[in-house]
Each structure stands twice: as C-alpha cells, then as structure tokens.
Chains A and B, each alone.
Chain A
Amino acid sequence: MTPRIEVVAIDTLMVRLFQRIDEANMPWMLAASQRLSTAFGAHLLDLVPSYTTLMVQFALPPSEARALIAQALEGLQPGAGSGGRRHEIPVWYHASVGPELPVLAARSGLSEAEVVRVHSERDYPVFALGFAPGFGFMGLVDERLASPRLSTPRKQVAAGSVGIAERQTAAYPAVSPGGWNLIGRTPVRLFDRERGGFSLLQPGDRVRFVPVSRSQFLALGGDDEAQP
C-alpha cells in the first residue's frame, strides 16, 4: 500500500489510495484518515474522504505537508474490524413516496416485495458524504437493482427519500433537486443541527435499511405526502 500524493490546490493534496470503488477499501480509508488527523493536528484545515481518496487541506508549506503525509501513512494497516458505526434506518418502501419502485421491479423482473428485500438485506458502507450536508453515498446495491439516473432530474425530491443510482444508494437529508431512482422514504433526520456532529452518517459507517409499514413510518414522524 503506497498511496499516490497529488497536487490539487495551493494548500491541498490528494492522497490516492485505490483505483476502484470497493467495500474492502473502507478499513484502509478509516485508518489513513485517523493517522492523517493525528499527524497534522491543528494544521489540518479539512480532510475530505471519498471512495478511493483523501483530500487534505492544510496550513503548512506544501512540501512539509507532503512529507508529513508520506510519513504518517508509512506501513499503513487497515483498521481492526470494519470501523465506523452501524445504523439501522427505517424505510417505508412504497410507490407513492418512491415512484421508481415499480420501475425497478419491472426492469429487474423482480416483484416490488423482492426489490425491497434485496435492497434491505445487506449492510452498505458509507463511501463518502457530499452533494448536500449529510448525504451519504452508500453501496453497492445488488446488480439487479442497478439503475441509471433519471434522464431529467426532479426539481424537488422530498426529504428522507431513499434512492438508487447505478449501484449506489442514498437518502436525501433535505428537500433538494435530484436524479436518483426513488424507492421509499425514511422518517430519520439525516442532518440535524440539534445533533452533536450534525450528520447521522459519517464516512466509513455502515447502514442497514429496515422496511417499515406506513403506520410505523408515520409513528416515527415521517411525512407521507406523495412524491410527484
């Protein structure tokens, strides 16, 4: 494991650890993040993990930062266990809040119930947060559920919407435009200023979606307004 260190900006370097998206990357990514945080301390302005890379923004001369990164990652070993926290996120899977549920079923040849089962029967690592605060890119979903983004993104996707794009899955923390295939909705608040750390998900966490009924969804505070 010899990561590549690339120039990105005046005070920023990219640490490239892998060439492709893989769940097995995550223990390495977490271990590298921890080492870099420790090595840079107060000189670290930001550390942005994403799938295969760690972007490091620092308050140091770039040559010093580069040496520090190389030194910190020497002899890197993956973290023990899979690292991060595990979340169970309740989802009401239904066409009224997930208009592409029937579309995915038709495309895959599965029933809607099978689509739900396949989507909710495995843990997904959180590869990165981005697009919006608290929006976690997770995966990989079963190949039968893989679906291209909508050719025309929706102007408004409801908060909590759970979607699929290619082999990734995510939940929208807030109302926003979006082009993912929606299959359900969670009542869980993914980005909440009342919560310490604000975002429920952190890179390296694992998520299991748990199917719930409409009444359970409503009891948990969900809003069942139909998604146009």
Chain B
Amino acid sequence: MATTYPHGTHKSADDPHVLLDDEYGQYEPIPPYPPRTERELEFYTPGDGEMYLNMGPQHPSTHGVLRVVLKLNGERVVDIDPVLGYLHRGVEKLCENADYHQTISQLDPLEYISSLFCEWGPVIAYEKLLDVQVPRRAEYIRVLSGELNRIASHALFMGWFALDLGGLAPILYSFIERDEIVEMLAALTGQRMLFNYFRIGGVNGDLNHDFLSRLGDWMSRAGKQIETNLALLNENEIFVRRARGLGTIDREAALRLCMTGPNIRASGVPFDVRRAHPYSIYPEIDFEIPTRSEGDSLARYLLRMDEVKQSLRIIDQCLEQMPDGPIMAKLPRLLRPRPGRAWAAIEGPRGMYGAYVISDGTDQPFRLKIHDPSFIHLQAVGALLPGHLLADTMAIMASLDPVMGGVDK
C-alpha cells in the first residue's frame, strides 16, 4: 500500500518503524536557493575562517519559535540572519475579515506575556474613530490592570534573562510573582493569559471582590518581595559582571534602529509614550520615567526593575483615586465608524505598541496595522551581536525581551 509521509520523515529500510530524517527534515544553515538580495549574498558568502551555525527553530532559549543563522569566526559571532514566520498567523488579514469587537480577541495572542497591551492600542484607535468618551472608571481600571500586567511581564523578564545567562533560581522566584498577578487578573477578566478584557468604550467587567482582596493581599507585601527577588540578582557578582557591557548600543544608533520602550531608555533617550504623548489617565498620575545611559544589558535589566517600582506607585494611586461610575460607554452593538484613519500608540512593557486603523464606514476595519516592539527589537539584535561570543547570543536577545508572538504576528 502506498503511503505518503510528511516532509521530514521516511521509513528506514531495515526497520519500517524507525523514521529517519531526510534532506527536508534538516535545517541546513545555507538556503538551497541562490541569494535574493545584496545582503543575503553578503551574509552567505563565508569569509576566511568563517562558518555557519543554525540555531532553532526549536531551541530552549529562543522565547518562541525562532530560527537564527549565525555566522561565526571561532567562537565570535560575525553576523546573524534571523528567519521569522514560524508563528505567523496573518492577524492583520484576520482582523480585516472580523468586525471591530471580534478583532480584540484576535489580537490577544500577539503578546501572550502581556496581552492587555496589544488590546489597548487598537481599542484606543477605534475609540478615536468613533469619537467615544471612555468613562473615567474604565480608564482607571485599564491603567490598573495594565500596570499589573507590566509587572508580571517584567518579573518574567527577570527570570528569563537570568536563565539565559545560566542562572536557574531566579525564574522560580519570578514565576511566583507572575503567578500571583496572573491569578489576580484571572479573577478580574476570567482568563489567565489571553485576557480579552478591554472593550471599545470601556472594559468587560467591573472590579470584583476576589480581585480586590487578592490585590490588597499582594500589594501589602509586593514591595518587599520584589526587593528580595532583586537582591538575588543585583548582588550576584557573576550575573552583574556577565551582563555589564553586553550588547551595548548608544543613543543615536538606538534611534536609528527605531527602538522604543525600556531598551531605548536604557540608552539615554527618555521616550515613554505615557509621558511623551499621554493617553488614558496617565497625565493625572505621578510617576517617574527611569532612564539610564549605559545602554548595555545590565542597564536594560536594571531599568525594567526600576519600572516595576514605578508601576507599584501607579497602582497605589489608581486604587486611591478610583472613581465610581459606569465602566462602559453607551455604544450600539454594531459599530460603523465613519470613514477615516486613526493611529494610537501606548507604552507596553516591551516598548511602543501602535495601531493604525482605516475605516471605510463598514463594521469591519478596512486595514489594521499593528506595530509591535518585539519585531523592532529582534531586528536590533543583529546590530548588537557582532563581536560577542556565541553564548551571548541568547543573553543579548533576552535582554531586549522580544516575544515571538508579536514578532511574527
């Protein structure tokens, strides 16, 4: 009986139960077709003493499904060529074929570490198109849940970064923090990861007792607990000496690479959308934008940890100032914004998330462009890496904190 096998497997002649790799199943670093561009030709022409190494797509520290072709000279990385697309869903096309409410749940899995932020940008853009005034209580709830999500994301960053530098303990501690926040948000939104919580004109549900009691419980010890976790790394000499000077990028280069968020603030550019171009209720809230000038991995790490402290301040103020009132604006169920274009950007834990929407007057967006910071920062790895050791590849990548769901869209 003739059987067809998927690419990558064929049966051994000796034992039909043994599946062997054939030529399709192996990832050769050098592509089997002629170079398509100038840069590809340059990359795949080895210099003296240079070799190629394929890393991924299934590699324990690529933070998702990412393949990177490394060009090595000895153990020094000369250049890299990331190969993307393993998680590509075509979310922009899916959103063009869904109505405005449905797009929110399509967008969630983009940023599976901090889902609220990839909902937030498009929701603001839709509200601009519709000229909706969001109730103040809803804005406060958005900021409150968003900052919680930011802390969860930064906590996970701390664990990942240490893991990629070879430290196994911090991720266990960071997962404790993250898990508490995630359970808290689950009490608020009903989901642990893909929250689907923001709505056009408000949020899906009001604050409930379960959420508030968990939050109060956590807030009473969060500051101290985070300090304890930080002491684990900040006072670890091996970690600090390893991370210092790793993947340094200066201010001008960071701007040219379109970097945003903590990564550009670690290079001395105080660009934070919450202050640079305020949205929601951030103008009313008192917090600082931590900035550092070193531009290396340690600075990026320390800056994120400073941001966690600022987020705790924001949460405190949100709880203090939380107004009463409705959590949803009054809107028809079927939304037909008038034709036009809108852009909204927000500050997420990884940088600036943007959404560009074009409406043609129907109930579906004519075009929805998602700008994801992970995509930009993964590109920057290519500029940071040359000259570093092979083992630093993943450490530098982790210090920029990309999430492959957002990179591949």
**A and B associate:** no
Name A's B-contacting residues (CB within 8 A): none
Name B's A-contacting residues (CB within 8 A): none
